[in-house]
Structure 1
Amino acid sequence: MKYAIIEASGKQFWVEPGRFYDFNSLNVEPGDKIALTRVLLINDNGNITVGKPCLDNVKVEATVLGHLRGQKVTVYKMQPKKKTRKKQGHRTNLTRLLIDNIIN
């Protein structure tokens, strides 16, 4: 099984070829091919390589499937004994990427 741990959008993701993942909004168009170069670890059928902190000459190729919005998060603030209530909702903008290949 081939997988990699990458850093993108301020988070770390365990990615495998052929699967899609949702990242924080990226400034790319649907259908574009991008390369993610901040690869922290790669496992190539039991051969594990760890970077310090990143691996050189290793990249993850991905295709942008589209942009979407995440689940709604409800924020409710209140001040006890003051009759102050505030309810807000928030949805994060996401970009869905299909992992095509891990090149090492």
Structure 2
Amino acid sequence: MVYAVVELGGNQIIVEPGKFYDVNYVPADPGDIINLNRVLLFAQSENFHIGYPCLNNVIVKAKVLRHLKGKKLTVFKVKPKKNNRVKMGHRQKLTRILIEKIFV
């Protein structure tokens, strides 16, 4: 079993080859190949490699599948004693990526 912990868009994600993940928006076109260089941990069966802070010799190759929006969040703000209420919605822009291979 091969997996890696990658920092992408301010989040740390455990990725495995052949699986897809929804991450914060990545400015790339669908079909583009991106290299994820900020690999924090790499594990292959019983062997672990931990970076301080990153591993320089490990690259995760991912393909951008499509752009989408996350589920809708309702933001409701109230100012007490002022009769001021604001209701807004928010949908985060996301990118779906497919992890193709982890190079060592």
User: Whole-Å Cα distance in 1 between the matches of residues 43 and 78 of structure 2?
Assistant: 49
Q: Which residues of 2 match residues 8-47 of structure 1 at below 5 A? A: 8-47=8-47
Q: Give every structure 1 segment of 4 or more consecutive aligned residues whose post-TM-superposition deviation is greater than 4 Å.
A: none
Instruction: State the one-letter code of the partner of 1:43.
Output: A
Supply the distance in 2 between the matched residues of 1:79 and 1:62 (Cα, whole angstroms): 45
Q: CA deviation at 1:51?
A: 0.7
CA RMSD of aligned residues (A): 0.9
Q: Percent sequence identity over matched residues?
A: 53
1:34 & 1:80 partners in 2: Cα distance? 48
- Aligned residues between the structures: 104
Which deviates further from its counterpart, 35-44 or 72-81? 72-81
Q: Deviation of residue 37 (structure 1)?
A: 0.6
Determine the structure 1 residue equivalent to 2:79: 79
**Residues in 1 aligned to 2:37 and 2:79: alpha-carbon distance in whole angstroms:** 47
Counterpart-to-counterpart distance in 1, 2:13 and 2:57? 19
Measure, in 2, the Cα distance between the counterparts of 1:14 and 1:28.
21
Match of 2:61? Answer: 61
